[in-house]
Amino acid sequence: MPFSDFVLALKDNPYFGAGFGLVGVGTALALARKGAQFGLVAFRRHCMITLEVPSKDKSYHWLLNWISHHAKHTQHLSVETSYLQHESGRISTKFDFVPSPGNHFIWYRRKWIRIERNREKQMIDLHTGTPWESVTFTALGTDREIFFNILREARELALQQQEGRTIMYTAMGAEWRQFGFPRRRRPLSSVVLEEGVSERLVQDVKEFIDNPKWYSERGIPYRRGYLLYGPPGCGKSSFITALAGELQYSICLLSLSDHSLSDDRLNHLLSVAPQQSIILLEDVDAAFVSRDLAAENPAVYQGMGRLTFSGLLNALDGVASTEARIVFMTTNYVDRLDPALVRPGRVDLKQYVGHCSRWQLACMFQRFYPEQPLAAAERFAEQALAVSKQISAAQAGTASPCNLDKASSPFPADLSTCMDVFQSLLTTCVLNSRHGEPYEFERRLFHQFCLPDLWRKGSLSPHPPGTHF
């Protein structure tokens, strides 16, 4: 039987024709599906642009905030709750709505952008316990400029919310996390130190910031360390906060007494500290003592933490220590610090911040009552020092006559009687502090309290809000 006759016979067979047709249709559909997949992959590869941002990236939270401003019509949301407890005990709560995990579409600069927020259920951050997340942007075209514009707008939006404020960071695990809400910048003039001290420190820090080339040309590590020491309540931490506001820097709070802090973690935290920030080590004497004292009574100082003294020294000024860094340390007992910790290279400038002098007390009085003559400020300082020669800024502010309760203590309108009232208040404040009784540090911001009408009508009128000690 010729082959042509065989083919004709198969063609006339209805069962074979039906099967061949089904196979042909199935094959054609499979090829079309493969072609569509290949075409889609080729289209996405050559005609679309994608940007993926993981949750570990600094811009991740900026972009979530930016998305919440542009995707206002999305119906799938997640909430981020933050709260701040004020010194008065009042709690402010803030709710931020951000797009939930899934796909979202926005219209941006005449282009549709697909935003996919992914949340991994099997992967979590061991330090914070939060799931691993990422957000992916997809747009038509090959121009990367659209993503640069989005990142730039997200950064500017975040900076607008932080403009005029100081950001506090705290160490959480192996990274720095923002601590609370950004705080309003404190004016440098609101911290009254001894004459010339504030100017000297500010000038030194600014010279360091403005001259990185000078350090590199001479092979000197580009880092600077400061130690502020003196009695408690004299303005060490307040000055550092005001200095950060003056420089428009943030503050990284690091506790050396943290039992989870090790040598490697300290080195890592110092190396990944946010740019344009001041690293603050408060009460450094509480974490380490002089090796002479430890040798005299080793049992007292055992088990104080995983961080070793040599690890701290190497982190501040060692082979692996980072550069472009400003470190401020504070202590109430400078004699307890080991000489190796405060040598040049680790501490380049030491400054004593002590009790209020006559000049400081007079300046404080003039800041609150600028319309009063200099003689009134001098008398204020004289009567204050007559009570005690060792008055801290916290004590002087607490003893302000305006801190009296207006319902039970009417204020005299003449200056002479006001001075007598102040002397009585300051005596009580100093005696309480000597006996270990706590005094209300925040009450020195007296303009936050209700002032009696008699003061507003009398010879003394408080300085407008914004003045601090």
Confidence (pLDDT) at 419: 54
Q: How confident is the model at residue 446 (pLDDT cuts 50, 70, 90)?
A: very low
22-75 confidence digits (pLDDT tens): 677 678 788 888 888 888 777 777 788 888 988 888 888 888 888 888 877 777
Which neighbouring-strand residues pair with 131? 124
Confidence (pLDDT) at 160: 78
Q: How confident is the model at residue 424 (pLDDT cuts 50, 70, 90)?
A: low
326-376 confidence digits (pLDDT tens): 999 999 999 989 899 999 889 999 999 999 888 988 888 888 888 888 888
How far is Cα 127 from Cα 320, in angstroms, rounded to an integer?
24
Which neighbouring-strand residues pair with 327? 225, 279
What are the b/e assignments for 167-181, b being 16+ CB within 10 Å?
Answer: bbbebeeeebebbeb
Which of 10-14, 96-100, 119-123, 462-466 is least confident? 462-466
| pLDDT above 90 (res 403) | no
How far is Cα 331 from Cα 211, in angstroms, rounded to an integer?
28
Confidence (pLDDT) at 462: 43
Q: What mean pLDDT value characterizes the chain?
A: 76
Task: Tell me the average pLDDT across 103-111.
Answer: 86
- Beta pairing class for 223-229 and 349-352: parallel
- Beta pairing class for 91-99 and 77-85: antiparallel
pTM over 0.85: no
* Percent above pLDDT 70 for the chain: 71
Q: Which of 91-105, 164-178, 230-244, 380-394 has the highest mean pLDDT?
A: 230-244
